[in-house]
A and B are shown apart, each in its own frame.
Chain A
Amino acid sequence: MAAAIAAHESGVKDILLLERDQYLGGILNQCIHTGFGIEYFKEVLTGPEYAQRFIKEIKKIPDIEISLKSFVVDLTRDKTLTFIKPGILEKVKARVLIMATGCREKTREMIHIAGTRPSGVFSAGLAQKLINIEGLLPGKRVVIAGSGDIGLIMARRFMLEGAEVRAVIEIEKKTRGLLRNVVQCIEDFEIPMYFNHRISKINGKDRVESVTAVKVDDDLNDIPGTDVRFDCDTVLISVGLIPENELIEMAGVQIDKKTNSPVSHELNKTSIPGLFVCGNSFKVYDIVDSVSLDSEIAGRLAAEYLRKKI
């Protein structure tokens, strides 16, 4: 939305915004906690409130057509997009394209936890969606693997909803999340944090029954004999985000395989001229305010690209 508004402000007249969800705002809608907007709006807002500011703005601009429930399935080098919408398959060719596809969460598979495959293992963001959007509590006794911000925030959310968070287990020496989240989500609720530990095994037949954690040395190797066991019915994985860029990869944009972001020497640009990437899909930011500011730059770059082409 920030990119579309900025492109419009820079003179672009015909903008199509494709959103796969049934409402605008993306992940912000499930981030109901505060801490957004301090830089951008000079106010402390929750995620939905932050999104709402942009939704209000964008709805005032008739030149921006918003298409919800629109899932892009194909993208080619000449910027032809194919998307599905309930009941239809549509193709549209853009002269300039801005991708704001964000991130997805790293999964259990990426951090190699041994054990069985019972139900009850969630990514932190999925648990957040279940609680905050669907109104479902995924479990009662929770262990969190990793101390990313979403994991910390979900620790508090589970505690508030009456579940018990048994432990947050972080392989590094210190938290990956913001300090403020450690204070208000972990310390406020006296949740034990285990640094230099990793979950070595998830146990349980149909449902998670417990996890085993083990202490690791400076090279992240397990220290034998340091096993601790936590009884729990739920494990949340919060080990970071990875940019979602499969579509532009499909179109032939060069992707850095390590970070899954586009290979680029300049902010928001990719190896295909006129194809821009903004926000978390370009690089993972800590705060949404930076994402909006970055996206505005992308919007202006796109407008400039169009001006030069005419």
Chain B
Amino acid sequence: MNKKLTCIECPRGCVLSVDAENGKLVRLEGYECPKGEKYAIAEIENPTRILTSTVLTEGLFLKMIPVRTSDPIPKSDIKKAMSEIIKIRIKRSIRTGDVIIKDFLGSGADLIATRDCSV
């Protein structure tokens, strides 16, 4: 099956032409760097995304702390991830990169803060 994908790894947005058989990538054209190749394989075999969102704080200077997954997580987990994120409350000072939930949903990726915030 031939498919056109747009690589989302960088703003260039290369159009990748891929052939897949039985859920495996067999031919790839149009990528301009190794990241594009990795993206195409993941997109065919197990599409993943970095999830970004915000979590509510209690008693901190900012009302919301932005967060993200440290690595891409399976697209199919995103709904579940959001329903977990909604439940979190941050009550302590936090620094960019601090882990909020380790091994988030068993994905191997951590949920990390992306902004500093003190009390």
- Set of chain B residues within 8 Å of A184, measured between Cβ atoms: 8, 49
A78 an interface residue at 8 Å Cβ cutoff? no
Q: In the complex, what's the smallest C-beta–C-beta distance from A143 to chain B, in angstroms?
A: 22
Residues A178 and B114 in contact, CB atoms below 8 Å apart: no
Q: Are A135 and B8 in contact (CB under 8 A)?
A: no
Contact of B114 among A49, A180, A183, A286 (CB under 8 A): A49
Give the residue of B5, B11, B54 whose beta carbon is less than 8 angstroms from that of A178.
Answer: B11
Give the distance to chain A from B35, nearest Cβ to Cβ, in Å: 10
Q: Is the CB of B115 within 8 A of A48?
A: yes
Distance in Å: Cβ of A177 to nearest Cβ of chain B = 10
Question: CB within 8 Å of B: which of A161-184?
Answer: 161-162, 178-180, 182-184
Known: A48-B96, A132-B64, A135-B64. A38 touches B115 (CB 8 A): no
Chain B: minimal CB distance from A157 (Å) = 8
Closest chain-B Cβ to A257's Cβ sits at a distance in Å of 30
Number of interface residues of A (CB under 8 A): 31
Look across to chain B and name the residue whose beta carbon is closest to the beta carbon of A46. Answer: B114
Partner of A48, one of B9, B51, B53, B66: B66
Interface positions of A from 106 to 164, Cβ below 8 Å from B:
131-135, 160-162
A208 to B55 CA separation, bound complex (whole angstroms): 28
A32 on interface, CB distance cutoff 8 Å: yes
Which residues of chain A are within 8 angstroms of B5 by Cβ–Cβ distance?
183
- Known A-B contacts A135-B54, A135-B63, A160-B82; the reply to A180 vs B115 at CB < 8 A is no
1/0 contact string of B56-93 vs chain A (CB within 8 Å): 10000011101010000001001000100000000000
Within the complex, the shortest CB–CB distance from B30 to chain A, in Å, comes to: 13
Indicate whether A76 reaches chain B with its CB closer than 8 angstroms: no
Instruction: Report if A228 contacts B (CB, 8 A).
Output: no
Partner of A135, one of B9, B11, B56, B114: B56
B103 at the interface (CB under 8 A from A): no
A45 to B113, CA, bound (A): 12
Q: How far is the CA of A184 from the CA of B54 in the complex (A)?
A: 18
Residues of chain A touching chain B, judged by Cβ–Cβ distance below 8 Å, are 29, 32-35, 38, 44-49, 52, 55, 131-135, 160-162, 178-180, 182-184, 188, 286-287
A-B pairs, 6 with minimum CB distance: A179-B13, A180-B8, A32-B66, A48-B115, A46-B114, A135-B64
Q: List 12 A-B contacts (CB under 8 A).
A: A29-B115, A32-B114, A34-B68, A45-B114, A47-B66, A48-B114, A49-B96, A135-B63, A135-B64, A160-B78, A286-B11, A287-B11
B interface residue numbers (CB < 8 A to A): 5-11, 13, 15, 49-54, 56, 62-64, 66, 68, 75, 78, 82, 96, 114-116
Given contacts A180-B6, A180-B9, A184-B8, 14 further A-B contacts (CB under 8 A): A32-B114, A34-B50, A34-B52, A46-B68, A46-B114, A48-B66, A49-B115, A52-B115, A133-B63, A133-B64, A135-B63, A182-B6, A188-B49, A286-B11
